[in-house]
Amino acid sequence: MRIIFSKVKDFFVKKENENMGVKFIEIMEIIYALILACGVVKIVEIFQKGFQFISFNIWFSILIAVLVLIRFFFAPSKNIKILGEKAKGWKWSIMPFDGVFLLGHSFIFYYMCLNIENIEIFYRSFFSLLIVNSIWLFTIWLRLKKEDIVYIKIWCVSNFFFFILYLLSYKVGLNSWTTWFILALLNSLIDVLTTYSDYFKD
């Protein structure tokens, strides 16, 4: 009788833990989305000054911010869901490790938008977001090495590559907003054009 009771107890504890994992991911998604929304508010505030007061280069920064929002609104939380489903033996790492990375993405985006009129800080934040995302994706790549998830590899390599190009722009003296904008735009286009269909997959 005691053995049966123990097995029943273990079964419900396991189910409870699974539900807690799902709830944790849902809560993280909500917090992540709220912080991104705060970034969007900062973009909208620029238009309150009037279109005639928005400088030429700020329009390009707004474009990059919008592309980042499109790219990062669903993808990071989607990565956590995939880990929850397929990372056998690694699910314990989601809460202390991946949750921090997820929130880190949202705070960097918010900081980008907060400094959208400061070109150098804006693009520095953008490329910081790329390297943080690339490092995180690489850890996911390792944990899901038995799975053939192509888009994670594309995002990881592309983001790392463009971060290196950003560093090189200082080395070769091309550290201007036009260079950074071109790099950011190319990175975003490669992301969207090569993996757009993956954004719609569960």
pLDDT tens sequence for the chain (202 residues): 565 555 444 444 454 455 545 677 777 778 888 999 999 999 999 888 788 888 888 999 999 999 999 888 877 767 776 776 666 655 666 666 777 888 899 999 999 999 999 999 999 999 999 999 999 899 888 877 777 778 888 999 999 999 999 999 998 988 899 999 999 999 999 998 887 776 666 5
Question: Whole-structure pTM over 0.95, yes or no?
Answer: no
pLDDT at 6: 56
The structural domain count of the chain equals 1
Compute the CA torsion angle 12, 18, 21, 26 (nearest 10 deg): -100
Concatenated DSSP letters of 31-92:
HHHHHHHHHHHHHHHHHTT-GGGS-HHHHHHHHHHHHHHHHHTTHHHHHHHHHHHH-TTTGG
pLDDT at 9: 42
In single-letter form, the type of residue at position 88 comes to: K
pLDDT at 84: 65
In single-letter form, the type of residue at position 90 comes to: W
pLDDT at 7: 47
Phi, psi of 149, rounded to the nearest 5 degrees: -105, 95
Any residues with CB less than 8 A from the CB of 184 and at least 6 apart, and which? 64, 67, 123, 126, 127, 162
pLDDT at 3: 53
Tokens standing for 67? 């592309």
pLDDT at 50: 83
3 state SS of 6 = helix
Structural domain span for residue 121: 2-200
pLDDT at 75: 72
Instruction: Tell which phi-psi region holds residue 89, choosing left (phi > 0), alpha (psi between -120 and 50) or beta.
Output: left
Instruction: Give the integer Cα–Cα distance in Å for 200 and 158.
Output: 20
pLDDT at 91: 61
